A and B are shown apart, each in its own frame.
Chain A
Amino acid sequence: EAQVTQNPRYLITVTGKKLTVTCSQNMNHEYMSWYRQDPGLGLRQIYYSMNVEVTDKGDVPEGYKVSRKEKRNFPLILESPSPNQTSLYFCASRGGGLYEQYFGPGTRLTVT
């Protein structure tokens, strides 16, 4: 089954404790992205990647890092999480030449 998976689905952590949210897709897609969703603000892009070792900032990249060492994986790293990063996070992927993005199930992060 074609899908985008994220782990963990739920995470509660404390300020300053480094964390990684994993994202994996099995569709051999070139493009992958991370979004955060906050009430009233819709989906805002954090980072995106056009292929292995090619990443770029989205609209709200501050406080986040990403890496794309393999085509299927695109982890999101919060080196020093803060409470304003409490949000619902989505990973997405799409194939080259098409704009239809497929989203993962989401990771709800709470930073206290």
Chain B
Amino acid sequence: GQQLNQSPQSMFIQEGEDVSMNCTSSSIFNTWLWYKQDPGEGPVLLIALYKAGELTSNGRLTAQFGITRKDSFLNISASIPSDVGIYFCAGQLPPGNTGKLIFGQGTTLQVKP
């Protein structure tokens, strides 16, 4: 099936550092979503992107929908210990409004205080 390539697979950073992760695909997507999953919990939506080139922020998080519609990135500025978790990108394929989302493999983030 369709795949999203998410990188890096894991990151171990110092508190206060900025973080960047991205997702790429050979397919065009209508929508990009970014989720965070805490241990033992379900994924929680962070940011939704609907238009190519769109840049959206949510507090210290910023995400962009790539111009080619085949990629997206997520930045976290000034990381804090509670940023620890697994971050997933997800994409909605055209043509339409179906229930199908494709997920990346996830980026595991660890923050050292």
Contact = CB atoms under 8 A, between A and B. Distances in A.
B60 interface: no
What range describes how many residues of B lie at the interface? 20 to 34
A103 B44 contact: yes
Interface of B: 1, 6, 30-31, 33, 35, 40-45, 48, 50, 88, 90, 92, 97-106
B88 A56 contact: no
Nearest to B98: A50
Given A59-B1, A100-B33, A106-B41, A42 B88 contact: yes
What range describes how many residues of A lie at the interface? 20 to 34
A42 B103 contact: yes
B33 to A, nearest CB: 6
B42 A105 contact: yes
A76 B26 CA distance: 31
Nearest to A31: B99
Contacts of B50: 99
Contacts of A58: 100
A40 B35 CA distance: 16
B101 A99 contact: yes
A43 interface: yes
Interface in A91-105: 92, 94, 96-105
A102 to B, nearest CB: 7
Given A48-B100, A49-B99, A101-B45, 13 more contacts: A40-B105, A45-B101, A48-B98, A56-B100, A58-B100, A59-B1, A92-B42, A99-B30, A99-B92, A100-B33, A100-B48, A101-B33, A104-B42
